[in-house]
Structure 1
Amino acid sequence: MTETLDLIVIGAGMAGINAAKKCARAGWSVAIVDELPYGGTCALRGCDPKKMLRAGAEAVEAARRLKGKGVTGETRIDWPALMKHKESFTDQVPESMESGLEEAGVQTLHGRARFTAEDRIEIEGHGEIGFRHALIATGAKPRPLDFPGAEKLIDSTDFLNLAELPRRIVFVGGGYISFEFAHIAARAGAEVTILDRGGRQLKMFDADLVDMLIERSRAAGIEIVAEAAIEQVEDADGAHRVIYRKGDENHAIEADLLVHGAGRVPAIDHLDLAAAAIETEHGGVKVTPWLESPSNPRIFAAGDAAASPGKPLTPVAVFEGKIAASNMLKDKRTEPDYTGVPSVVFTIPELARVGLLEGEARARGEVYVSFTDTSGWFSQKRLGESHAGAKVIAGTDGKILGAHMFGPDYAELINVFSLAIKLGLTAAQVKAMPAAYPTGASDIGSMF
């Protein structure tokens, strides 16, 4: 292949697919390439399949919470059947994504890509391609681990494809992946432990609500060990033994399965960026505020691969991909607006956040903070839930600066606060919103 394209997109996840379609519909010649099935991490190896599995865990937990309150009998998860439920969604994604791209006029390619010059790329099985612009949207991969035996850990992709769920599972790391998967596995009957090197877990979320989540996690049977530095992993009679240091002492725990949940990094190592004079920063592709490479203006980056201010979240990847495409098409310097982007840890119940943390808000000046334990409210009582809370932060002008929530269905409710922050609404304006009753949204007026 010796053609020169207007745009080559590397990575068929949400950032890449949205950008490719936008440019193709504008009349550009566009190709997209990925060495993995089309759809990206979120649709195939992350957000969506995780929530498919979580549905089973939610059902089991709901029945357990209401045991003795009108619900009887033993509810359990059939893991292979739940996995088939997940596959009923994920199996359709690659073909659907690829056909949608082709309908939009995008050429779809498969294979590993690497740059060979500032305006050329080589794709395995397709040869070299010239381009006027390239978008790097290769997403992220598990962070490399450096202790002996680290190769024995599986990653999140492998966990989401387990044919059977082992009895004893250790999750390494105290972030999203470990907590979300631990809550699923515990409801499915596994003995679950989280080993975290740090003293505090889920650092990007409100500390008071994280404490509540940890307490709830332990009540669900999940053991959480903080300040646990792993020394090595060794074989132990067909299983694994994890040796970790806590304080001045070494400890050991045996497990049938070890899962890597210790963070992710941009997946750009294989691209040979130096050949195209592309600089990196903080592990990702260095970009200007409008997502262009400052060292090679032909190149843009979006999503988890870019060292942008955006959080590694699917909505961010989507709008960064669209803005990068618009800037390439129109030769503009439009900057993404990251205001009001919510994030959620899909434990049971879930932990949600939008806007500033309390410490961040106080550092900017005087603020009003309302922290409410909502565990005794009707919304939780009807479900038998024991833990829930909300924290809302507003400025002296009344505008909402941040909202933090832990409880059933709060992943949906956080979107109300996301809109409020995006539009610059005051607490009084949000409290004045009439809501259907009784719903989670009808609780908002009592939260601050």
Structure 2
Amino acid sequence: MNGAAAMPYDFDLFVIGAGSGGVRAARIAASHGASVAIAEEYRVGGTCVIRGCVPKKLLVYGAHFAEDLKDARRFGWNVPDCDFDWTVLRNNVLADVDRLEGMYGNTLESHNVRLFRERATITGVHSVTLASGRAITAKYILIATGAWPMLPEIEGAEHGITSNEVFHLDECPRRVVIAGGGYIANEFAGIFNEFGAHVTLVNRSDQMLRGYDAQIRDRLLQISLSKGINFRFNAPLERVGKREDGTLRVHIRDGDPIDCDLLIFATGRRPKSDELGLEDVGVELDGKGAIRVDDHSRTSVESIYAVGDVTDRVQLTPVAIREGHAFADTVFGGNPRTVDYGCIPSAVFSHPPIAAVGMTEAEARDRLGAVKVYTSDFRAMKNVLAGRDERALYKMVVDAATERVVGLHMIGPDAPEILQAAAVAVKAGLTKQAFDDTIALHPSMAEELVLLR
């Protein structure tokens, strides 16, 4: 026998980060027979479950009751004036987060994935070291550490909070300033406005929700203004001061300062790749700190992979899950797979919500040239009886040469629920005629999609 036999690794796979992508990768790899361990320094479930889309959506549901209770009177219900107790909603939301974290932990345990509840850093191409000092080896390492909210580099930024801390507030603020123009900013603007707060959204540019169709964005702005949300565009923050009574004064370039009780920074998220030891082992990062990966999520180091927001490909939970699953099938399942990033549906859980899939009208005109655009601008039946002027807008973008539907964009009640099914048709490359040939489901808001003329 020539040479000593190679020592086996402690695990086939070691995952750093027990969020949606990391947990899916660990579970699927284990189901393929791999020995798997995962490390999480905070709580199992990641941003989505612990401090992101799940608790936020529960707040959205809670906020919507403000309008529903008022509307109920128009439907014959003798609803008295109702008080809102933030602490009840907050505590119930946090309790549900605890429940979901337990479910994620049970999933790992049931698949025989070893969970280390501590920070792990990479110390070699096949090795990690836990915060406790324990060294562990693995044939493959997967980084799934997600992203983290960014704070602007301005004086007094420490007086504000990010979406991470919103779910733990002791009380509901009376006056809220939200810095940012993306989906997080608009969602929390709608939430706190419904809770009775005076909300001002401050954006450094003249646009919000970049990437969404212009007509849909404009409609949300109109409705938000009618609901009492204030907007300050072209208003970069200069500094934040804290007053003796504990309130804040937000100073804006070329504008009057804004006094508030709470300042939320929703100014973007950066890949959480720092202090992992990546540079020491040769893992390449881009200028924003995102881990560079190939189509199979492999980094510049053959034994190290990365999925989810830390790669900054598409920062969406279902995408991270797909990437984690594809990685496990590729490396451990003998089934090499990549993720198709085309036609990814997305939503903004504003009041009312936005949902979209495919190209905007502007994108379609740039890429395809001739396009056809169909719209339906209507009041939902419920809003009519409730006496609300709020109008929904559905928009279909069609390739004029092929009649293929290349984009659907919606704002209105339950728009995300409706779009999920319609996104299948866009992904499948169906034509406008296929929508026309489908009989309407009446009376529903969704039927507007097959009645566009």
TM-score, with length taken from structure 1:
0.94
**1:52 touches 1:85 (CA, 8 Å); kept in 2?**
no
Shift of 1:334: 2.5
Aligned to 2:355: 352
Task: Give me the whole-angstrom Cα distance separating, in 2, the residues matched to 1:361 and 1:66.
Answer: 41
**1:60 touches 1:76 (CA, 8 Å); kept in 2?**
no
Aligned to 2:257: 252
SS in 2 for 1:285: coil
Q: How does 1:386-425 map to 2 (within 5 A)?
A: 386-395=390-399, 396-425=401-430
Shift of 1:250: 3.9
Check 1:401–1:382 CA distance in 2 against 1; reply closer, same or farther (3 A cut). Answer: farther
Task: Give me the whole-angstrom Cα distance separating, in 1, the residues matched to 2:387 and 2:131.
Answer: 55
Shift of 1:389: 0.6
Deviations 1:105-150 (A, max 9, x none): 1000111121111221111125111111111111110123101111
TM-score, with length taken from structure 2:
0.93
Q: How does 1:128-167 map to 2 (within 5 A)?
A: 128-167=135-174
SS in 2 for 1:292: coil
The answer to whether the aligner puts 1:228 opposite 2:235 as a matched pair is yes
Task: Give me the whole-angstrom Cα distance separating, in 2, the residues matched to 1:191 and 1:307.
Answer: 34
The answer to whether the aligner puts 1:437 opposite 2:442 as a matched pair is yes
Q: How does 1:205-354 map to 2 (within 5 A)?
A: 205-237=212-244, 238-245=246-253, 249-281=254-286, 282-293=288-299, 295-308=300-313, 311-330=314-333, 333-354=336-357
The amino acid of 2:199's aligned partner reads V
**2:394 touches 2:449 (CA, 8 Å); kept in 1?**
no
The answer to whether the aligner puts 1:190 opposite 2:190 as a matched pair is no
Shift of 1:69: 5.9
Check 1:139–1:382 CA distance in 2 against 1; reply closer, same or farther (3 A cut). Answer: farther
The answer to whether the aligner puts 1:105 opposite 2:112 as a matched pair is yes
SS in 1 for 2:323: helix
The answer to whether the aligner puts 1:24 opposite 2:30 as a matched pair is yes
**2:440 touches 2:450 (CA, 8 Å); kept in 1?**
no
Task: Give me the whole-angstrom Cα distance separating, in 1, the residues matched to 2:312 and 2:175.
Answer: 37
Single out whichever of 85-94 and 215-224 deviates more from structure 2.
85-94
**2:440 touches 2:451 (CA, 8 Å); kept in 1?**
no
Aligned to 2:127: 120
**2:29 touches 2:333 (CA, 8 Å); kept in 1?**
no
Task: Give me the whole-angstrom Cα distance separating, in 1, the residues matched to 2:342 and 2:387.
Answer: 35
Task: Give me the whole-angstrom Cα distance separating, in 2, the residues matched to 1:332 and 1:150.
Answer: 48
Aligned to 2:364: 361
Deviations 1:237-261 (A, max 9, x none): 321111101xxx3421111111111
Shift of 1:372: 2.7
**2:182 touches 2:209 (CA, 8 Å); kept in 1?**
yes
Shift of 1:280: 1.0
The amino acid of 2:169's aligned partner reads L
SS in 2 for 1:133: strand
The amino acid of 1:445's aligned partner reads V
Check 1:88–1:42 CA distance in 2 against 1; reply closer, same or farther (3 A cut). Answer: same
* Identity rate, percent: 35
Q: How does 1:4-43 map to 2 (within 5 A)?
A: 4-43=10-49
SS in 2 for 1:203: coil
Shift of 1:305: 0.8
Deviations 1:144-192 (A, max 9, x none): 3101111111111211121211111111111111111111111111111
Check 1:359–1:265 CA distance in 2 against 1; reply closer, same or farther (3 A cut). Answer: same
Unaligned runs of 5+ in 1: none
- Counterpart of 2:179 (choices 172, 189, 194) is 172
**2:9 touches 2:139 (CA, 8 Å); kept in 1?**
no
The answer to whether the aligner puts 1:371 opposite 2:375 as a matched pair is yes
Q: Hey, which of these two has a bigger chunk of strand by percent? A: 1
SS in 2 for 1:354: strand
Task: Give me the whole-angstrom Cα distance separating, in 1, the residues matched to 2:144 and 2:262.
Answer: 31
Deviations 1:14-62 (A, max 9, x none): 1011100001111111001110110111111111111111112111112
SS in 1 for 2:257: strand
The amino acid of 1:381's aligned partner reads V
**2:406 touches 2:426 (CA, 8 Å); kept in 1?**
yes
The amino acid of 1:389's aligned partner reads L
SS in 1 for 2:426: helix
Aligned to 2:58: 52
Equivalent residues, number? 440
**2:29 touches 2:332 (CA, 8 Å); kept in 1?**
yes
SS in 2 for 1:305: helix
